[in-house]
A and B are shown apart, each in its own frame.
Chain A
């Protein structure tokens, strides 16, 4: 296991919490950076409340399954940064680090005395990535977001759903996942720039603002053509176009039919597949896969415009056929014939039934001290020389405090004990975990 890592010798001071920030540093960690997560149990919003603790375990700071998956490849330093002593210690850490990353609301770090100017005094070439909801610049910088709010305000929620229904939106915090992507990209581009020029900088990322460019073509349709998204037939559900409304592109790709979700056998909650034909030729292949039924030879389905015009009937006929097959069987038959089709997959499907994800080793088990052995999500990219990997389970809170304070920062063991006694490394009125007692021996 002596493969080099892409971010060897890069150290990240990670103040981030909940999801978007931790999702960013998770990937920097997988790429080999040392991620030091600064935590304080009184202000913890990523570990608790937990709805992903296995039913067999007690819900506590160390048993959230989702926290584990979101925070692999990190170390945890429990530290009260709001105390003068804690602030001094974290500055000592920043002085020997490369990146500071946080996703608090816009003025929090400044109030702690850790604004960009202060960070530069401690480490002149620091790359500082702030990931607040609305950014540090602009009149609404004090507004706050969760993923669903960023998605709503930016237009992302609106573009998902059936016409004449409320928006379906996104059934999860897409912009927490994606905000994390932009956090990691910001850190990496800042780091590259620093390595090339010797200069650090502040990167002022906003979760809400980052959502807006994901609507690019819809926005250009408005700024260039004056056509807004608030119009009949839009958004068109899973279709490329809603029958009976003006023929306009819907910003997902070519305007074609069939282009929809269809029920499959045995018709349970997630028994659906999607089928798309991008050309007459692909349509004819689908007709063959369906066994060449008489209805499909009707001239009204022979052309792209015809299929769009008669989409309702087309979809009903396809579904009558798709109901006779399981979604994986249907997928295999279609793809073997060169027809675009894939199953709707639940989380269980992805983890247990998806042969491609299994082949690519997407979910590999990892041991965690409190949770036991569980599968963890892997990287979607394979770098030939510096592969990304999950090499550390998520840290128990404060698990690496001794290692960081003594070995990295050079404080004595006595100073560690004093820091635990005076509330710098753990609240004095809060019960310590057994591993903390051990590190104080």
Chain B
């Protein structure tokens, strides 16, 4: 490979305007990392997510939010107040030459400013506008307030997640962490935008998309809905494993170093599996009675499920470091994994082989930091982070000046009037 220009991403050439808070910034990041020119439009002074921690060196500052950094890679940034007439005029000029507008305002707000799809598409029929909001543009909950925790509750994630009574008596349903409601909404919004973009390559026309985060979350609980619809079952929560109508064997075992291993054994026990399990345990001299010919009989296996799982498998895992169990098991074809804390991923050789970790430069700090990279390797148009998150108004001159042709004098006046 030559050191020439790297291949552009699959969305190269697209201009996307992002008017997004915490609910939509991940969708913009996906599109930006995939090669689109995403222009993030923040209110003068910066988007409120700049105030969400943790912060670089734990020093709170709108340019030091690691959450903002992470969710706004591969974007350029401008500031613009849509609540001023000048701001709206500039926004319309940007919208006239953009391909996609992603917005997360409360339903009705863009229309109150005259910036809804109907008016923007008049000047640019090719534009695709995606509203990504907690509950969508219609319905009795459309104006309800939300948060990640609220979506995990109403979407059904919490009803499926929690503890066995023995592990945590009377525990509440648990909302998995990490802000995944915004990921769920962002994935579906990205999919809808991409479908509209593909359609536009054929039909030449844009459209409006109304995406609901609540619906995205309600769709993301695997078979829970089917369990109810086809069997009338309402599932119970279990520690570290699938919800189920009735109790299932545990799958999480503590290794010698205290780390847990996820070993999917229950439900798979048959004579062939017992043989393979005996080989794995035997390689550490811990097969116990698993070689006993009685285990050729499925009925005997069924009667000894608890012995096999809670004694043999549990003791085997308890005798070794978790990473060793993970690799030994996977090398023998067992679909088992180690329950890692996120930071342990930095040592994962497979991720390094894939070039997963990316050094992202922060030139204003004279430093670069390691970021997690992309879900997939595209061999013809790479998915990759192109730059760190924008500083507040970093590209105002580039975009308002160089692209829209505003003079430095005009820019100064707009700044004085809190337009930019």
Does B194 count as interface, using CB distance less than 8 angstroms? yes
A159 x B13 contact (CB < 8 A): no
Say which one of B85-93, B211-219, B408-416 lies at the interface with A. B211-219
What residues on B are CB-neighbors of A68 within 8 Å? 226
Interface residues on B, range: 35 or more
B156 x A229 contact (CB < 8 A): no
Does B303 count as interface, using CB distance less than 8 angstroms? no
What residues on A are CB-neighbors of B371 within 8 Å? 216, 219-220, 223
What residues on B are CB-neighbors of A178 within 8 Å? 183-184, 187, 220
Once the chains are docked, how many angstroms separate the CA of A351 from the CA of B374? Answer: 35
Does A225 count as interface, using CB distance less than 8 angstroms? yes
What residues on A are CB-neighbors of B220 within 8 Å? 174, 177-178
Once the chains are docked, how many angstroms separate the CA of A27 from the CA of B139? Answer: 24
Does B392 count as interface, using CB distance less than 8 angstroms? no
Does A280 count as interface, using CB distance less than 8 angstroms? no
CB contact list, A249-274 vs B, under 8 A: 249-255, 259-261, 263, 269-270, 272-274
Say which one of A291-299, A355-363, A419-427, A431-439 lies at the interface with B. A355-363
A252 x B179 contact (CB < 8 A): yes
Does B234 count as interface, using CB distance less than 8 angstroms? yes
What 0/1 readout, one digit per residue, does chain A (368-385) give for beta carbons within 8 Å of chain B? 000100110111111111
Say which one of A73-81, A83-91, A195-203, A404-412 lies at the interface with B. A195-203
Does B3 count as interface, using CB distance less than 8 angstroms? no
A196 x B191 contact (CB < 8 A): no
A347 x B168 contact (CB < 8 A): no
Shortest Cβ distance from A57 into chain B, in angstroms? Answer: 9
What 0/1 readout, one digit per residue, does chain B (122-159) give for beta carbons within 8 Å of chain A? 00000000100001101111101111111111111111
B262 x A152 contact (CB < 8 A): yes
Shortest Cβ distance from A323 into chain B, in angstroms? Answer: 13
Least CB separation from B226: chain A residue: A66
What residues on B are CB-neighbors of A236 within 8 Å? 177
Once the chains are docked, how many angstroms separate the CA of A69 from the CA of B225? Answer: 9
Shortest Cβ distance from B335 into chain A, in angstroms? Answer: 5
Assess A157 versus B240: contact at CB under 8 Å? Given A178-B183, A253-B147, A356-B140: yes
A149 x B336 contact (CB < 8 A): yes
B343 x A222 contact (CB < 8 A): yes
Say which one of A35-43, A302-310, A336-344 lies at the interface with B. A336-344
Does B66 count as interface, using CB distance less than 8 angstroms? yes
Does B330 count as interface, using CB distance less than 8 angstroms? yes
B335 x A145 contact (CB < 8 A): yes
Does A160 count as interface, using CB distance less than 8 angstroms? yes
B188 x A380 contact (CB < 8 A): yes
A355 x B353 contact (CB < 8 A): no
A360 x B139 contact (CB < 8 A): yes
B54 x A201 contact (CB < 8 A): no
Does B315 count as interface, using CB distance less than 8 angstroms? no
CB contact list, B155-179 vs A, under 8 A: 155-163, 167-168, 171-179
Once the chains are docked, how many angstroms separate the CA of A221 from the CA of B58? Answer: 10
Does A121 count as interface, using CB distance less than 8 angstroms? no
Can you report 15 A-B residue pairs in the complex whose CB atoms are below 8 A from each other? A7-B198, A51-B231, A55-B231, A135-B376, A144-B333, A171-B162, A172-B221, A189-B194, A228-B342, A248-B54, A272-B172, A276-B149, A347-B159, A380-B188, A384-B117
Known: A349-B156, A381-B191. 17 other contacts (CB 8 A): A158-B341, A166-B254, A186-B376, A217-B178, A219-B343, A224-B66, A238-B158, A274-B153, A340-B145, A343-B153, A355-B139, A356-B135, A357-B218, A360-B215, A379-B188, A380-B216, A385-B207
